[in-house]
């Protein structure tokens, strides 16, 4: 589970929105070399299932590969069929959560309010995506954490910049999903690798400063 690995770079989810199958392996290699172990290919990318299958075929056992922007159970099943083990959604859909869990996949539904968070928990989710995080801010997460079960982890996603990592950790973030801060289709592989290393280092430093390392 992501929650069991949330003390290091494995708490970072790389969101490769817009990635194409022809580039996904070299990009995945750069992320892996930087220490990132969780990769999400949003389903509104070109040929997303082909990209997921290519990453899965790399055969790295400590990698978690899956799909993002998963909106229905059919896409959960298709992700499973190509070997994906992770389902991430921007919204709360109890059917998506239950289907993913039935297939022994990790699932991170999107939530914003306490009501949505507890509805997701009731459906079986133990990891939640606060989205879009920049709209709500660390104080919102801190308030949510005050009422959420301690074994439920929250990953802020959407508009988070590297320098904001310490504030979000202090508010109770278990990890982060990074999209454009880490990847855009026009970024070079070298640039993606540098960005990944910078984010991983920022997370390590923030955890050390907060006594979480």
Which is the catalytic residue, given 40, 54, 81, 181? 40
Q: Which of 36, 58, 85, 40 is nearest to 192 (CA)?
A: 36
CB 209 within 8 A of CB 166: yes
Question: Among residues 26, 102, 129, 181, which one is catalytic?
Answer: 129
CA–CA separation, 56 vs 18, rounded Å? 18
> Residue 106 has which token pair?
């990790």
Q: Following CA atoms 45, 51, 56, 57 in sequence, which dihedral angle do they give, to the nearest 10 degrees? A: 180
Contact 159, 132 (CB under 8 A): yes
Q: Catalytic: 40?
A: yes
**Active-site residue, 129 included:** yes
Positions annotated as catalytic residues are: 40, 129
């Amino acid at each position: 589970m992501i929650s069991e690995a949330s003390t290091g770079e494995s708490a970072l989810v790389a969101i490769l929105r817009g990635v194409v199958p022809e580039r996904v392996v070299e990009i995945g290699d750069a992320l892996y070399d930087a220490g990132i172990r969780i990769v999400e290919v949003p389903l509104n990318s070109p040929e997303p299932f082909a990209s997921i299958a290519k990453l899965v075929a790399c055969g790295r056992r400590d990698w978690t590969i899956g799909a993002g922007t998963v909106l229905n159970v059919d896409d959960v099943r298709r992700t499973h069929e190509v070997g994906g083990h992770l389902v991430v959604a921007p919204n709360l859909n109890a059917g998506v959560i239950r289907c993913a869990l039935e297939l022994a996949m990790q699932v991170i539904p999107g939530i914003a309010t306490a009501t949505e968070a507890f509805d997701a928990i009731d459906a079986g989710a133990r990891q939640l995506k606060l989205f879009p995080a920049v709209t709500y801010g660390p104080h919102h997460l801190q308030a949510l954490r005050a009422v959420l079960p301690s074994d439920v982890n929250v990953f802020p996603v959407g508009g988070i910049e590297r320098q904001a990592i310490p504030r979000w950790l202090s508010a109770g973030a278990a990890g982060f999903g990074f999209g454009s801060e880490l990847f855009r289709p026009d970024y070079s592989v070298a640039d993606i690798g540098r960005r990944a290393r910078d984010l991983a280092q920022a997370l390590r430093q923030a955890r050390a400063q907060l006594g979480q390392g």
